Chain A
Amino acid sequence: MTTTDSKLETTGVSTSAGTGSRGSRILGITTIIAMGWLVAFGLGFSPEDRDQREAVRLLYVHVPTIWIAYLAFVVTAIGSAMYLFTKKKSLGWDRLAGASAEIGTIFVAVTLVVGALWGRLTWGVFWQWDARLTTTALLFVTYIGYLAVRQLGGTHEQRARRSAVIGLLAVLEIPLVHWSVRLWRSLHQEATVLGTDADVNMDGLMLFSLFVGVVAFTLLYVWLLMHRTRGMAMEDYLDDRGLDEALEARRAEGEPVARGDGAN
């Protein structure tokens, strides 16, 4: 029980305070303000595109979410490596990796949905068998697999080791998938018309709106990550303490009998 208490303390959460703290509250409010900014710039101030008209506004969600998703998966890999290769084997790294992967997966899902809608508007189809799209779809499935591995059960340490290995294997897998899919498309299809995400001649205000989007989604990511890691720490704590309490209750049942026997 003392070990779980100390684990929880390292996350800076007291058992009754929920997952919020002063820092996360300030961050949360900043996130809301940044999101408000993003809405104002994305839907209001930024001009419509010459070719894509209003559809270009999807850019301000589509691009930041995938960038942050990649960031999240890098954090997952770092957390996994830190868990596996440091002597202390702190479960904090494992929870960081898991929480980051959860958020990253959701962000990839947002990217895919927004991208499909955008594709329908600009290309006329929801999906193109383009290298980047295909890799992203496989990335999404890979991390769903990672999250499923986290649910396999066992002790926290088993979960941490298993998922850390899978988290690192994903780093091996993704470049191979990307390479193969790119080779596949470059040899078998003429260059597809992509969106304007790589357009260097972007309007200044559009670029700034995109920047606001990146800031807003980064803040959202960090805020979610703080709450989710703390939530996971509490789940782990509950798992351990649930067993401890059951044991204590069991022992308490036996105690009066022991006293009745006159044992000191």
Chain B
Amino acid sequence: MSVWRIARLVAAKDLRIEWHSRVLTNQVLPFAGVTMVIFAFALDSDAVLERVAPGLVWLATMFSMLVLVQRTFAVETDDGALDALRVAGVDPRAIFLGKAGGLAVQLLVLEVVLLFAAVVLFRQTVPVDGLVLLVTTLISATCGLAAVGTLYGGLAAGFRGRETLLPLLTLPAVAPVLIGATRAVEAALGTAGAVVSDGWPWVGLLLVFAVAFGVGGSLAFGPLIDE
């Protein structure tokens, strides 16, 4: 079987587990929602919230991603499934791409819900001419986030006491995504007078990031999980 086919199977398996357990809908999404609400408590000004809403969407996404990543590897390590996959001779690149794909789908759902929350809570509007930029940004940023999350999630998985390492490794690495995606979404939504054309250079950054960590991650994943 080709790497891509196995990756698709792994991703489908992850999403099926997610669909049955409903951790995303019952726990992660509410957590992300609460994060948006407590941002409002901390910032305490309608004007400020309106200005920083795109950044808050991405911050909430990243915090929730940490939970999702732990979850996606907890299902593997609980029964030694990751080791079983390795023993079965599954290419680690396929595992990486599959798990990143499954994570990416969940992140996309999360981002759409958070954007909707930003529209409702922080008075954002989604203009039609920014729609293409918005969708491209969401997809490219998600690919980068999923690659980094899967890579460091695999390292942190399976051993007690390693969970605390995940945010330390992940958050500095995804800083470029936070910067790029926030600016691009600001441009797409027209926050603080930004125009759509300002957003495209940031999409370039996000794409480079996604490719770099996609390739780097698929190469590095094998040595990292191979205990």
Contacts and interface: CB of A to CB of B under 8 A. Distances in A.
Interface of A: 84, 138, 141-142, 144-145, 148-149, 152-154, 158, 161-162, 164-166, 168-169, 172-173, 176-177, 179-181, 183-184, 187
A168 B175 CA distance: 18
Nearest to A164: B223
Interface string B164-176: 0100110111011
Interface of B: 151, 155, 159, 162, 165, 168-169, 171-173, 175-176, 179-180, 183, 198, 201-202, 205, 208-209, 212-213, 216, 220, 223-224, 226-227
B173 A184 contact: no
Nearest to A173: B173
Contact of A149 (B165, B172, B212): B165
Contact of B176 (A165, A169, A180): A180
B169 A149 contact: yes
Nearest to B209: A176
Tell me the interface secondary structure of chain B in the complex.
Answer: helix
A144 B169 CA distance: 9
B202 to A, nearest CB: 8
A148 B183 contact: no
Tell me the interface secondary structure of chain A in the complex.
Answer: helix
A162 B155 contact: yes
B97 to A, nearest CB: 17
A172 B202 CA distance: 18
A179 B205 contact: yes
A138 B179 CA distance: 13
Contacts of A152: 159, 162, 165
Given A138-B172, A177-B172, A180-B179, A162 B224 contact: yes
Given A141-B168, A176-B209, 10 more contacts: A142-B172, A148-B168, A149-B165, A152-B159, A152-B162, A162-B224, A164-B223, A169-B216, A179-B205, A183-B180
Contacts of B198: 187
B165 A176 contact: no
